């Protein structure tokens, strides 16, 4: 038997009622308690998918959401959007956290298939798994949220990541940058592949040759990004600007630059992707490629409910727009006073 809600409560140091309210998206839970609960869920691999017998007996339709890592500030915002849309439509919503582990993700999806949930919104860690195939074999609707599932018969709700990074590159080139670094996650994730494509296309449109030395791949962990940005800055011809592929990698890059004694933007310009963590509150305020995370969650649940109601409708592929928000972390490289790293 897997971890229970009581185990999560003990790990987080809160009551079972607080865990229940957190997982239901209740606004009455204090932010600190909510963070502890979500961290405990991730640490324990808790799956809120063991449905009460009274719900199964009355054939209540249950939706499920499976995310990659609730420590990533993106996912709690996504959960909030999903909860909002589910509550508005009168659907209970449960969720699980794969911690970006394909095996755990497959197990969670397999459990959800056993529970015969009505539909699943999935931010996949890798793509097709045995658990996902089991859901589809049972004809349980699945919506790929944030990350696409190429070649699978599912609806999709994500953002226009290619154009988002292109706009960031255009902004940096307009400031005079020619050496632009990219800290990017696994290209097996469609979101990362899109952002890498936007990077290359943006450079090409600006007449700048692609240099693979300026691309550092990471595992979406802050510490890894902190390390690899140091490698970028130690190149013989280092970048004058760096783009992070999500909030965690951007924070890691910022810490790595400061560890080297480099100032933002005086020495290196920095752009992030997401902005869930509040880039406007950073020092300096962070230029970001902003995506509508809450809306992604809302739309994903809306699409999922529509698929449940009409299984034969044409497939839906929603790509919401991103927006470049220019703040103080980007400047002309002409103002850089670079020292030895």
pTM: 0.81
Residues 6+ apart with CB under 8 A from 55: 62, 92
What is the per-residue pLDDT for 92? 87
Strand order of the sheet with strand 215-217? 215-217, 180-184, 241-244, 269-274, 287-290, 323-325
Domain 5-159+293-321: state its class.
alpha beta
DSSP line for 85-120: HHHHHT--EEEEE-TT-HHHHHHHHHHHHHHT-SEE
pLDDT at 22 over 80: no
**Of 193, 198, 201, 62, residue with least CA distance to 126:** 193
Chain CA centroid to CA 72, Å: 7
User: What CATH number does the domain located at 161-291+324-335 have?
Assistant: 3.40.50.2300
C-beta neighbour count of 238 within 10 angstroms: 20
What is the per-residue pLDDT for 150? 85
Which tens digit of pLDDT belongs to each residue from 230-251? 999 999 999 999 999 998 899 9
Which tens digit of pLDDT belongs to each residue from 76-107? 889 889 989 998 998 988 888 888 888 889 98
What is the per-residue pLDDT for 272? 97
Which tens digit of pLDDT belongs to each residue from 288-323? 999 999 999 999 999 999 999 999 999 999 999 999
Q: Three-state SS for 160?
A: coil
Q: pLDDT-based confidence at 338, cuts 50/70/90?
A: very low
Percent of the chain with pLDDT over 90: 60
What is the per-residue pLDDT for 48? 58
Domain span(s) for CATH 3.40.50.2300 in the chain: 5-159+293-321, 161-291+324-335
């Amino acid at each position: 038997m897997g971890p229970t809600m009581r185990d999560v409560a003990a790990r987080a140091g809160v009551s079972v009622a607080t865990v229940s309210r957190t997982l239901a998206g209740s606004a009455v839970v204090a932010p600190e308690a909510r963070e502890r609960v979500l961290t405990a869920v991730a640490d324990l691999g808790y799956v809120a998918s063991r449905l009460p017998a009274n719900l199964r007996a009355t054939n209540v339709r249950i939706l499920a959401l499976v995310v990659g890592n609730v420590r990533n500030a993106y996912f709690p915002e996504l959960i909030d959007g999903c909860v909002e849309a589910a509550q508005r439509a009168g659907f209970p919503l449960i969720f699980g956290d794969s911690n970006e582990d394909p095996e755990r993700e497959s197990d969670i999806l397999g459990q959800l298939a056993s529970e015969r949930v009505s539909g699943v919104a999935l931010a996949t860690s890798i793509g097709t798994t045995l658990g996902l195939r089991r859901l589809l074999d049972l004809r349980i609707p699945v919506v790929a949220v944030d990350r696409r599932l190429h070649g699978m018969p599912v609806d999709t709700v994500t953002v226009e990541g290619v154009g988002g990074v292109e706009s960031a590159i255009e902004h940096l080139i307009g400031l005079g940058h020619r050496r632009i670094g990219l800290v990017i996650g696994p290209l097996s994730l469609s979101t990362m592949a899109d952002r890498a494509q936007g990077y290359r296309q943006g450079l090409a449109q600006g007449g700048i040759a692609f240099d693979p030395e300026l691309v550092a791949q990471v595992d979406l962990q802050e510490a890894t990004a902190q390390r690899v940005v140091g490698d970028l800055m130690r190149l013989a011809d280092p970048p004058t600007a760096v783009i992070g592929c999500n909030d965690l990698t951007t924070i890691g890059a910022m810490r790595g630059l400061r560890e080297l004694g480099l100032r933002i933007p005086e020495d290196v310009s920095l752009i992030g992707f997401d902005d869930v963590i509040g880039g406007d509150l950073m020092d300096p305020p962070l230029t970001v490629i902003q995506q509508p995370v809450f809306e992604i969650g809302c739309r994903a649940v809306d699409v999922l409910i529509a698929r449940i109601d009409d299984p034969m409708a044409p497939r839906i592929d929603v790509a919401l727009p991103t927006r470049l928000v220019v703040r103080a972390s980007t400047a002309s490289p002409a103002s850089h006073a670079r020292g030895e790293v």
